[in-house]
Amino acid sequence: MFGKIKTNLTTGHKMLFMGAVSALCVAVMGFGVPSAQAEGVLKVGAYGGYFKDSFDKHIFPDFTKETGIKIESVAEPTGEAWLVQLEQAARAGMAPADVSMMAQGPLLRGQRTELWMPLDIKLIPNAKFLLPQHVHKYPDGRVDGIGAVSWYITLVSNTDVFKAAPTSWADMWQADKKNKLGLLALASNSFLLEITAKTFFGGYDILNSKEGISKVLNKLAELKPNVKLWYRDEGQFQQALQSGEIPMGQYYHDVTGLAVADGHPVRSTFPKEGGVLDSGSWAVSKATKMSKEAHVFINYMCQPHIQKKLSLKVGTAPTVRREATGLTDAEFASVSSDISPIIPRYDLYTGDVADWVNQKWTEMVTE
């Protein structure tokens, strides 16, 4: 698996919900331009490049063979841009894609305009295999998203510089890490608020108030002398990690695995507090005319053997319970962990407090 996806992953984390490689034609698909596919084909949005290619090759043909439902795959731009396109199209009663893979932030923002068609969970019996966090709901309990794929951010380190693996996220605060860390630059993609809350404050409840968030930010500010790079360019940090220039930080577990497979002196560690488990969900536009087929597709994707195939072919962590997948220990470890994960508090970055959090993050942490 690692060898097959090296080139695409190292330039941006599998084009999953960040920096996706998008097709220029997406902006017009579903906006009055006839599809090349026959009417009645289920249009499924996935991020472009290797990720979409993998679905086209390994997933969609088998789905059509099993169900008789033809799929037209649509290359999505990054999550926020795609959300805008879906909302604009829905107002005109159109759906550029019937089913889309949505990051958690855009999924939550889509709730505000009731963009997502509520899903009938009775028509998705394979949802019983899902981990609880992968059933996404409107505030009133209606299901609006079902886990598609997930991936981990872990504590990574250069094995030449640090002979012993770290055991806790708290290791980043130690004095010997001065000017040696590379961390993701945004509150909304680093999830350092959640990491700090679980590591030093016993959990996420402290993030329920501005006062509590401020305490967490103060603790995070103690990291500043240890941070050499707040990065937006993943490739920049990866190169610095591999060379030992920036020998520790947070990065993607699977991409680090690629570097290990290539012989670089790096490791990915799941700290005792857990890695950060980020994910995307299948969501259905309220403008779809293919509700029945969309439910069939989502139910198909929830099957444990399909999640296993995604882990082996695409490198994503399964959204279903491990024991259901049949993954070997080595296969599972390459994409996931049994340690209870840190689950992002997406409400901090999409709700009423989002602007305040981003302002304080800049003032107290990254400036």
Tell whether the model's pLDDT for residue 33 goes beyond 50: no
More confident of the two residues 256 and 31: 256
Q: What is the mean pLDDT of residues 318-345?
A: 93
Q: In this predicted structure, what is the pLDDT of residue 48?
A: 72
Q: Are 242 and 265 in contact (CB under 8 A)?
A: yes
At residue 193, the pLDDT reads: 98
Put simply, whether the predicted model's pTM sits higher than 0.75 gets the answer yes
Q: What residues pair up with 44 in beta bridges, in sequence order?
A: 73, 99
Residue 14: the pLDDT is 44
* Strand 99-103 with 276-284, pairing: antiparallel
pLDDT digits (tens, 9 = 90+) for 153-210: 999 999 999 999 999 999 999 999 999 999 999 998 899 999 999 999 999 999 999 9
pLDDT digits (tens, 9 = 90+) for 110-157: 999 999 999 999 999 999 999 999 999 999 999 999 999 998 999 999
More confident site: 128 or 12: 128
pLDDT at 354: 92
Does the pLDDT at position 341 exceed 60? Answer: yes
What per-residue confidence (pLDDT) applies to 283?
A: 98
pLDDT for 79 equals: 59
The lowest-confidence range among 25-29, 150-154, 319-323, 326-330 is: 25-29
269 or 40, higher pLDDT: 269
pLDDT of residue 8: 40
Q: What is the pLDDT of residue 22?
A: 37
Average pLDDT taken over every residue of the chain: 88
pLDDT of residue 162: 97
Mean pLDDT (whole number) for 211-234: 95
Domains 2-150+278-333 and 151-276+343-366 share a fold: yes
Q: Where are the domains of the chain?
A: 2-150+278-333, 151-276+343-366
**Per mean pLDDT, which range of 196-205, 255-264, 318-327 is the poorest?**
255-264
Instruction: Provide the pLDDT for residue 25.
Output: 36
CATH topology classification for 2-150+278-333: D-Maltodextrin-Binding Protein; domain 2 (3.40.190)
Residue 143 pairs in a beta bridge with 119, 137
Q: Dihedrals φ, ψ of 240, to 5°?
A: -70, -35
Tell me which CATH code domain 151-276+343-366 carries: 3.40.190.10
